[in-house]
Amino acid sequence: MTLVHVEEAMGTTFSFRLEPGELNTDDAAAAVVAACRFLHETDATFSTWQDDSAISRLRRGELAVGDAPTEVAEVLDLCHRAGTLTDGLFDAWASPAGVDPTGIVKGWATQRAAELLVAAGFAHVQVNGGGDLQLFGGARRIGVRSPGRVDLLACIVDVEGAIATSGLYERGGHLLDPRTGVAATGPLSATVVGPELWLADALATALFVEGLPGLNRIAAIDGYRALVIDADGNMRPSAGFPLVDPA
């Protein structure tokens, strides 16, 4: 039995694919509702579009981190860690408008929602937050979309934890390289797999900026592997990237 739920939240679409295991229907439904509520609450806290969100008040200097919801400090800490692991390519403090953790919030929230569902008792959990997935309970085959066409796959990946893909198609070519301040030009898409989505998502963003040279950096992080689809449409995986032969 598989439970499928689709939820609009955080300006994108979340797709849940769940195996209830021993959970009864009422408990399963309640857990999904709670996970979705978490996503909406996260949006209310971290939205830079809403003037009254905690993150907006923080950016204006009206709120201290210590007075904000505890998730704010947690996410800002992850932003620091992502910056360290990418040698500054991932930089939540690059904008003069103030700290912007947007690049990490969606992946983090997707992972947290999946963890909530595991805690509720689901036997298998797969949450897709706008194209970045967190899985628990066993490996699944996940397709990586073609950079050129939304309806085609470039490859299939054996995923046990998280997979995140950053592509030109979702950015409109406007992802800025923080080192130069100009639009990044390089690969068509970058994919990272690893245990945790908050980091896989941040690494994929950095890899998309850096291109091929970033493959080795990511593969050196314990448990993480990467794939670049270069400007010519060729797939360039790091050592150990779990590509599945579709044949």
Partner 1 sequence: MNRGVVVLGATVLGLAGLLAFDQHQFGDPFALSSKSSGLKLPTNKEFSVGTTSADTATVPADPTQTQQGSTQQAAPAAPKVKRAVGASVSNPYGNVQVKVTVKGGQLTRVTFLDLPYGDPTSQSISDQVAPVLAQQAIDAQSANIAGISGATYTSDAYQQSLQSALDKVGFGQQ
Nearer to partner 1, 7 or 71 (CB): 7
CA distances for 131 relative to 15, 16, 126, 164, angstroms? 9, 12, 12, 7
Site for partner 1 in 97-116 (CB under 8 A): none
| CA dihedral sign of residues 47, 33, 79, 214 | negative
Q: How far apart are CA 157 and CA 163, in angstroms?
A: 9
Tell me the closest approach of the beta carbon of residue 85 to partner 1, in angstroms. 20
Site for partner 1 in 46-65 (CB under 8 A): none
Q: Which of 154, 184, 199, 202 binds partner 1 (CB under 8 A)?
A: 154
Interacting stretch for partner 1, rule CB under 8 A, among 42-50, 79-87, 97-105, 225-233? 225-233
Nearer to partner 1, 54 or 134 (CB): 134
DSSP assignment of 120-139, as one string? Answer: HT-SEEEEEETTEEEEESS-
Tokens representing residue 211 in the block = 């291109």
22 near partner 1 (CB under 8 A): no
CA distances for 126 relative to 33, 96, 185, 193, 199, angstroms? 15, 36, 32, 14, 17
Q: Which of 5, 40, 57, 59 binds partner 1 (CB under 8 A)?
A: 5
Binding site for partner 1 (CB under 8 A): 1-8, 11-13, 15, 17, 19-20, 25, 28-29, 32, 126, 128, 130-133, 140-157, 163-173, 188-189, 191, 229, 231-234, 244, 246-247
